[in-house]
Structure 1
């Protein structure tokens, strides 16, 4: 079985590559929008998203390193999606940075503060979905790099 190659010598990406890349970019762009609006619009945005006063206070109480970890998680995934669609092997690194940010953010939320309890079951479920999505994207980018679809 032979693999078709393009003008640059890289293997042609399968149809699912573009599907995963576009869906990942949309998903991660929403995460970027949510992070940005939380930082810029603050309480009004968070209230509009259904957060109560205690949950908002918990976000305001986050130490700088936890906010930084959250930012790495979000923007690492956005960068990873863009790099993946650009067929760059650096997508793997960006998703790795994102996973580290997500892990640190989750450690703060669920182990080092009461924020996890304040966010409740729906917050825990959303955190699990986010972590799962980043882990999948990291695995997918790594797999595509190993198969020669990324340069």
Structure 2
């Protein structure tokens, strides 16, 4: 008589698809914004005031790297979530770290030009990154992510 000791992973609910697809689109826009800015796409950057563009293009390479880690970490975290990989937690954590460091840089940069109405947006980004990380953590603890 043999005993089956294999563990059956819990089924992922329909919500993993909803959260994963929404996160993928949200983070894809962040990646698009980064690429369009980094490549200095004229049509994309046209609405921004020149002083904002000058500030962005004068940022040191490591600030760009933090931004890239944040947006691409979120994008690949969403893809990992859809693939039910435990890497989603690590990648969403990296994304949150990038967002928090970017916010800190923005707060400390006294010479940064301000865009009216955009002061709250970094906090929205952090809140969404926290939700993504929290959801992935929950799915990992449930055993859905492997």
1:12 Cα shift? 1.0
Answer whether contact 1:92 1:141 (CA < 8 A) is retained.
yes
> Do structure 1's residue 32 and structure 2's residue 27 form an aligned pair?
no
Distance (whole Å) between structure 2 residues aligned to residue 136 and residue 114 of structure 1: 31
Answer whether contact 1:43 1:56 (CA < 8 A) is retained.
no
SS at match of 2:27: helix
Residues 62, 113 of structure 1: CA spacing in aligned structure 2 closer, same or farther, 3 A cutoff? farther
**Structure 1 unaligned runs (5+)?**
1-7
Q: Deviations over 1:46-86 (max 9, x none)?
A: 22xx2101111111121111111000000000010000000
Within-5 A mapping of 1:28-67: 28-47=27-46, 50-67=47-64
> Do structure 1's residue 15 and structure 2's residue 14 form an aligned pair?
yes
The structure with the larger Rg is 2
Scaled by the length of structure 2, what TM-score is found? 0.88
Within-5 A mapping of 1:114-129: 114-115=111-112, 118-129=113-124
SS at match of 1:28: helix
SS at match of 1:119: coil
Q: Deviations over 1:99-120 (max 9, x none)?
A: 11111111111113432xx233
**Structure 2 unaligned runs (5+)?**
1-6
1:23 Cα shift? 0.6
Question: Aligned residue for 1:133?
Answer: 128
Question: Aligned residue for 2:3?
Answer: none
SS at match of 2:59: coil
> Do structure 1's residue 106 and structure 2's residue 103 form an aligned pair?
yes
Equivalent residue pairs, number: 140
Distance (whole Å) between structure 1 residues aligned to residue 135 and residue 141 of structure 2: 10
Q: Which has the higher helix share?
A: 1
Residue of 66, 79, 83 corresponding to 1:82: 79
Distance (whole Å) between structure 2 residues aligned to residue 9 and residue 34 of structure 1: 41
Question: Aligned residue for 1:4?
Answer: none
